[in-house]
Structure 1
Amino acid sequence: ELTLFYQPIVNAKNNTVTGFEALMRWNHGERGPISPGLFIPIAEDANLIGPLGEWALRKACDDAAQWPGDIRVAVNVSPIQFADDQLPNLVKQALKTSGLRPDRLELEITESVFLGESQETEEMFCALKEIGVRLALDDFGTGYSSLSYLQTAPFDKIKIDQSFVRGATEPGSRNGAIIAAIVALAEALDMETTAEGIEALDELDWIRELKVSHVQGYVYSMPVQNEDLCERIQAGDWVLVPTGPAKHRSDRHSMFRKVNIVHENSCYPAMVRNISKTGALIEGIVDVPVGTRFVVDFGDGQIAVSTVRRSMGQQQGLEFDQRLVDDGNGGLCTRTRVSPYLVAAAGMPVPNLPNDFYPENNQTQAIAAVPAFYTTDSWKAA
């Protein structure tokens, strides 16, 4: 039920595919596709990562040996595999059996192998480099980063984790400065760089401006099966045209949450369909012009000022003036909260306050105001 998919690694300057990363996939007979993020940690705990890793290495070498030219294949090596003194022999056997040149195999190793840095670690690096394979430092900057091990570890490439790419183009982000520093470090050490997880065209332009040498992500291609890959590269060099959204959009969370929408001095009930740090999709107000300014009351003193950027009948796409932040429990919240007494003083209903708290003049204003929009309660039936 296991198979390998391959995601292209592309030269950022000319869009030419220079290699592929082998990614393990499991299509369960009953459950269907199972995420590697689920089954790989279980395989490590069950002491099965060794056999799985050996199979992936042999399979990737066999597949890559059939590819034309000098296209490389990158294979992930877990810390458990790296600690096995039989790893160099396994690599030699996989190369010999497949006939793949050693310099076309790239082993991706994470920083966690340096947690127990010892003489054995240095000897393993030397043994692998003697074979002639390439070594890539995977997920750089996300673990126990130390510049000291770059002095001795013979890496050929640094892979910049996608967590630094996400939001790098947004105002106020420091990720661009971090990526620039990693690139400068790599160039000084004569190493290549690969930025992972590029999905939007503005991210790609930014990565190119920062002089990252290689790119990997959906902006070029999703992982493909070996059969499809071989068909594409039979003619020689494979050049990919980047495609995708013009700008990076924050991850959206689907939900079904009641909110109050304030426009001028009228309040409308609505439902949030999905939300991200930068905006939300609401439903319940009819035919709102693009550019309309709304205040979204999420409750508990969470107030977000927003602008309607898309309007589709009873649904509106909002862009927040100020980005939301993580609430620490996997959700989002506003950066600050407004006192419920101030909210009530503005004439908004607030739970758990006495009925006689609301100022009479604000209530009168709210009732007397003529609403600018119609509402629909179709979402209530859903």
Structure 2
Amino acid sequence: VVSTETARIVGYEALVRWEHPERGAISPSEFIPVAEDCGLIETIGEWVLRTACLEAANWPKNVRVAVNVSPIQFANPALPAIVTNAIAKAGIHASRLELEITEGVFLDGSKSTDSMFKSLKGIGVRLALDDFGTGYSSLGYLKSAPFDKIKIDQSFVRGAAIDGSRNAAIIKAIVNLASSLNMETTAEGVETQDEIELIRELGCSHIQGYVYGKPARAELVRTALNEGNGAATISGYRVSREQRTKLFRTAMLEVAGERGEVRIRNISATGAMIDGIEFGRDPQSVTLSIELLEGDLMPARVRWAKDGRAGIEFAERFDITRLNSAVDPAKARRAG
């Protein structure tokens, strides 16, 4: 988790993986539902909480650890005692532990929910509302629950930097809501550098996602924190792009009045990857047209080029469903 203001690491989220002796690493999306059905989720959850706190004790004191708490765990009256014990054994300050809670804890609407929130806040831990906007989304939750942070679900972040997306407006509304309630915000699932810039411009306080690296083992995190200066390293793509469809299709390309055949490897509404052409030393300066449909030339520009392949960006959006029934223009020309 990285601060948008300082670009420094302020926390990590604890993610559990099952290292199966035969199947290898198993995602929590596979085994957590089974653990809930078998009545093991509270045991696993307590182990994750204790382990995460012990690991955080090895980090700089300004770095927090976030742990997910399931609705089943939240309903356990012993949870405050379990949290207190985990913090005490690890020897960390309560404010360094952030419990991530989903909207599912509000479903029963009982008074015990309010009592649990009060008990946890009394300990001094931080509370975050996870996956905001994907569940039942009653604003009454924010009025009654003492959250310190709202985590904006990645479904709103994904594609937010693409022209025409409404996601940026939704993110801005959530940020404004959180700010008025004195809550921080974390944008989840950020994968590209232009998304970082957008999230920062929208006023979100924190960023989490693959743009700063994929999940790492505890020992690697410990080493990075203790040997580094806390600055986050960007590793994601520079710009966002829409979901691409794999495609093997020929097309005619026109560059400086000359035409030639290229192969399309994948395509989206905003661009494509092609091969079978070299663009020289300065490919980004090249303007071209591509004939995706017979007789229909679309202006485009080169975004990158390497080893006979190139990524091109269309001058305007293209409806790729039109390719489903269309005849390949290059093949049609050869047949004629």
Name the TM-score class by shorter chain: 0.7 to 0.9
1:167 to 142, 150, 159: 159
- Contact map agreement 1:294 1:308 (CA 8 A) in 2: no
Please tell me whether the aligned partners of residues 96 and 125 of structure 2 are also in contact (alpha carbons under 8 angstroms): yes
Local SS of the residue matching 2:58: coil
Structure 1 counterpart of 2:114? 122
Hey, what does 1:41 align to over in structure 2? Answer: 33
Does residue 307 (structure 1) correspond to residue 304 (structure 2)? The answer is: no
Shift of 1:169: 1.3
- C-alpha change, 1:68 and 1:117, in structure 2 (3 Å) is same
Shift of 1:76: 0.4
Change (3 A) 1:311 1:168: same
Q: CA deviation at 1:73?
A: 1.0
C-alpha change, 1:316 and 1:204, in structure 2 (3 Å) is closer
Q: 2:62 matched to 1:66? A: no
Q: CA deviation at 1:199?
A: 2.1
Alpha-carbon distance in structure 2 between the residues aligned to 1:279 and 1:48: 48
- For structure 1, the 5+ residue unaligned runs are 1-8, 326-332, 351-362, 368-382
Distance 2:299 2:260 in 1: 15
TM-score (norm 1): 0.73
User: How far apart, in 2, do the equivalents of 1:320 and 1:35 lie?
Assistant: 38
Letter in 1 for 2:225: I
User: 1: distance between equivalents of 2:86 and 2:4?
Assistant: 30
Does 2:208 correspond to 1:216?
Answer: yes
Q: Which runs of 5+ in 2 are unaligned?
A: none
Decide whether the 8 Å contact of 1:306 with 1:318 is kept in 2. no
Report what 2:290 is aligned to. Answer: 294
Distance 2:310 2:234 in 1: 30
Report if the CA contact (8 A) 2:249-2:264 is conserved. yes
Select 1:153's aligned residue among 122, 137, 145. Answer: 145
The question of whether the paired residues in 1 share the 8 Å contact of 2:17 and 2:25 is answered with yes
Give the share of equivalent positions with the same residue, in percent.
49
* Deviation (angstroms), 1:87: 1.6
SS in 1 for 2:88: helix
1:314 shift after superposition: 5.5
Cα offsets for 1:244-266 (capped at 9, x unmatched): 3221233445x4x44352558xx
- Give the Cα separation in 1 of the matches to 2:263 and 2:112: 58
Decide whether aligned partners of structure 1 residues 31 and 274 sit closer, same or farther in structure 2, where only a CA change above 3 A counts: farther
- Output the amino acid matched with 2:117: F
* Aligned amino acid, residue 296 of structure 1: L
What number of residue pairs does the alignment pair up?
A: 326
Supply the distance in 2 between the matched residues of 1:323 and 1:58 (Cα, whole angstroms). Answer: 51
Which residue, 61, 70, 78 being the options, matches 1:78?
70
Deviation at 1:126, TM superposition (A): 1.5
8 A contact 2:74–2:105 mirrored in 1: yes
Q: Please state how far the C-alpha of 1:235 moved relative to its aligned partner.
A: 6.3
State the distance in 2 between where 1:164 and 1:282 align: 30
8 Å CA contact 1:260–1:268 kept in 2: the answer is no
Shift of 1:315: 4.0
1:239 aligns with 2:239: no
1:250–1:28 Cα change, 3 Å = farther
Are 2:100 and 1:108 equivalent residues in the alignment?
A: yes
Change (3 A) 1:53 1:169: same
Q: Establish whether residue 177 from structure 1 lines up as the match of residue 169 from structure 2.
A: yes
CA RMSD of aligned residues (A): 3.4
| Alignment partners' CA distance in 1, 2:17 and 2:288 | 46
1:264-291 Cα deviation digits (max 9, x unpaired): 8xx99976534445333345x4557953
| Amino acid of the structure 2 residue aligned with 1:261 | A
Deviations 1:160-188 (A, max 9, x none): 11221111111111111111111111111
Computing the radius of gyration from Cα coordinates, the structure with the larger value is 1
Query: CA contact under 8 A between 1:19 and 1:74: conserved in structure 2?
Result: yes
Aligned to 1:259: 249
Q: In structure 2, what is the Cα distance between the partners aligned to 1:236 and 1:271?
A: 45
TM-score by length of 2: 0.82
Aligned residue identity for 1:99: G
